[in-house]
Amino acid sequence: MVSLVQAAAQLPVLLLALPAGALADLMDLRRNLILSNLLMLAAATALAIVAALGRLDAGILLALTAMLAVGAALNNPAWAASVPLTVPRQVLPQALVLNAVGFNIARAVGPAVGGLILTVAGVTIAFAANAVSFAFVALVVGILLSFPRKGLSIDVPPEEFRSAMRVGLAYVLAEPVVYGTLVRSAAFYGCASAIWALLPLYVRDVLGLSSAAFGVMMGVIGAGAVLGGLIMPLLRRWIPRNDLIMLAGVACSLALVPLALVPSTLTAYPSLLVFGIGWIVGASNLQATVQLAAAPWVRARALALYQAMYNGGMGLGALLWGLLGEQASLTGTILAAGLVGCVIALLTRAVELPAEIGDPSAPALAVPRPLSIAEEMAPLLHSGRNRLVLAIRYRIDPANAAAFRAAMAEVRLARYRYGAVGWVLSRDVSDPTHWVETFRLRDWHELQRGIEHYNLADSEAVVRARSYHLGAEPPRMTLLLQDPRT
């Protein structure tokens, strides 16, 4: 049941990640943050009222915890996407470290204060204090924060909600750095979740201590996070991103071993300090990688999926370690989590993450030229009711076929990042120099938005592929309206 509370706090964020990210990309960030904190205020207030009435049981606690998590699911992508709007790109990684340090200080101080309030004033006041915190955040956001307005320079309707979710998922799957980071995140958080899920029981049942001691131990993790944040610039200077994330996973996992083998406060404090260092190093580098690699127009959706990996790893991991703890001893479960985590951290290092990440907002070398449109076809095209098929014809020397095919693999990812489906590269059986690239798009408006979002990496991929094209004329492009009756 203790692990289920952790799961209830994390799994709604996993389930609502993509809708919440799409909403954050489409909505005004400030309004999003205010409304989501008001939702959490309502859930926290209900929790305090039910506790005051003496009607709080495990089922109600889980339900209201899940409702709080729904508010967090809506809040988190908007909050994370707002950070790059406040600092230059070159200092963004360290700004994210400071943000994570602040979060972990709150994670450390909050339980300590909560344990104190619980001991002195009781559960109702503790829940009420939590409600006040959300009211405070909503007030501060409403008064102090403002962000640039979103919008396109072209005259097209706003992106539809369902389309925004589909394009966001397609972008993440087609962006190798973001996709690789999500894989690494799921592994890191799934293993690290053991300590968050089992520490309350470890403190009470193994060490025989109170909730105040649990708050102190959370404080030690927070102190480790602060220390990790302070040494982060030095670590980044000497250790590549890929190895740093792997070492962070190993540190978090190895910290669990002495907790299991030598259970005492003397081993718990240094072990939790090491865990806090590994936690902040891994978490901040994973989030910074997504922040740097995701284009601004889709950043909240990419961050929402990253947070889905975080909350899914933490929630499902908590459930797994809780179930294992029911079958085995608590210390045995913690030992298993530590050993498994070390192995997984070493294995997932094979999912390479680059040391340097190009700016996805850098302008394209050349924006695609507009196509000529027949007058009688314009109303059908501009209505946005018809799917499009784009066909691009290349002339390639057969000797360069392998190199062209390899270059087109990058072009394929670029097309998918902007919502294309059904991408195919075909070769004419009657003329081995004739190649055709085809893909589908939802409508004319999606094509226009894709051109607006076209960036340097996309144009460089297209230029590399087109360098193999024969002749002075560029590849011939044809835009087709798909007949809805077929």
Determine the Cα–Cα distance for residues 414 and 365; give it in Å rounded to an integer. Answer: 14
- What is the pLDDT at residue 156? 77
> Of 152-166, 193-207, 216-230, 403-417, which range is least confident?
152-166
Q: Rounded distance, CA 72 to CA 79, Å?
A: 10
Calculate helix-pair angle for 241-254, 211-238, nearest 10 degrees.
150
pLDDT for 412 equals 96
**With bands split at pLDDT 50, 70 and 90, how would you rate the model's confidence at 151?**
low
- Residue 44 burial (10 A CB sphere; 0-12, 13-18, 19+): buried
pLDDT above 90 (res 1): no
pLDDT digits (tens, 9 = 90+) for 20-63: 999 999 888 889 999 999 999 999 999 999 999 988 888 888 88
d(CA 430, CA 428): 5
Same domain? For 382 and 341 the reply is no
CB atoms within 10 A of CB 460: 16
Tell me, yes or no, whether 98 and 191 share the same domain. yes
> Of the candidates 181, 107, 124, which has an alpha carbon nearest to the alpha carbon of residue 351?
181
| Distance separating alpha carbons of residues 13 and 20, to the nearest angstrom | 9
The pLDDT assigned to 250 comes to: 95
Q: For residue 278, what pLDDT is reported?
A: 94
Average pLDDT of the residues in 104-113: 74
Residue 149 has pLDDT above 90, yes or no: no
Please check whether residue 301 is in contact with residue 77, taking contact to mean a CB–CB distance below 8 angstroms: yes
Stated pTM of the model:
0.84
Backbone angle region of 151, left / alpha / beta, with phi > 0 → left and psi within -120 to 50 → alpha: left
> Distance between CA atoms of 46 and 147, rounded to whole angstroms?
31
pLDDT of residue 339: 94
Judgement on whether residues 68 and 211 belong to the same structural domain of the protein: yes
CATH number at residue 155: 1.20.1250.20
Residue 233 CA to residue 106 CA, distance in Å, equals 22
Lowest mean pLDDT among 160-164, 313-317, 328-332, 391-395: 313-317
Q: What percent of the chain has pLDDT over 70?
A: 97
Residue 433: per-residue pLDDT: 96
Q: How many domains is the chain partitioned into structurally?
A: 2
| Helix locations, 175-255, DSSP H | 176-201, 211-238, 241-254
Based on the fold, state whether residues 305 and 426 are members of the same structural domain. Answer: no
User: Is 2's pLDDT higher than 80?
Assistant: no
Q: Are residues 444 and 339 in the same domain?
A: no
User: For all residues of the chain together, what is the average pLDDT?
Assistant: 88
pLDDT digits (tens, 9 = 90+) for 402-430: 999 999 999 999 999 988 999 999 999 99
Q: Sign of the C-alpha dihedral, residues 115, 325, 283, 298?
A: negative
pLDDT tens digit sequence for 76-108: 898 888 888 888 888 888 888 888 778 777 766
Res 152 pLDDT > 80:
no
Residue 319 shares a structural domain with residue 413: no
Single out the residue of 385, 388, 291 nearest to residue 81, CA to CA: 291
Same domain, 69 and 15: yes
- CATH number of the domain enclosing 408: 3.30.70.100
- Per the domain annotation, does 365 fall within a domain? no
Does 300 have pLDDT greater than 70?
yes
| Residues spanned by the domain of 413 | 378-481
279-293 confidence digits (pLDDT tens): 999 998 999 999 999
When comparing pLDDT for 189 and 484, which is higher? 189
Query: SS3 letters for 292-323?
Result: HHCCHHHHHHHHHHHHHHHHHHHHHHHHHHHH
Whether residue 241 sits in one domain with residue 174: yes
> Lowest mean pLDDT: which of 238-247, 344-353, 371-380?
371-380
Q: Which of 350, 367, 390 is the last residue of a domain?
A: 350
Q: What angle do CA 211, 216, 220 make, to 5 degrees?
A: 145
Confidence of residue 396 (pLDDT cuts 50, 70, 90): very high
Question: At which residue do the structure tokens 């299991």 appear?
Answer: 260
Q: Let me know whether 267 and 399 are in one domain.
A: no
Q: What pLDDT is stored for residue 150 in this prediction?
A: 67
Average pLDDT over residues 101-117: 77
> According to the model, what pLDDT value does residue 340 have?
93
Whether pLDDT at 366 is above 80? no
Q: Is the dihedral of CA 179, 180, 185, 191 positive or negative?
A: positive
Q: Is residue 70 part of a domain?
A: yes
pLDDT at 108: 67
Same domain, 334 and 388: no
How far is 394 from 436, CA to CA, in rounded Å? Answer: 6
Within 13 Å and on the Cβ side, how many CA atoms surround 309? 23
Q: Are residues 342 and 382 in the same domain?
A: no
Q: How far apart are CA 331 and CA 206, in angstroms?
A: 8
DSSP SS3 for 478: strand
Asked whether residue 321 falls in the same domain as residue 466, the answer is no
Q: Is residue 370 part of a domain?
A: no
What is the reported pLDDT for 293? 93
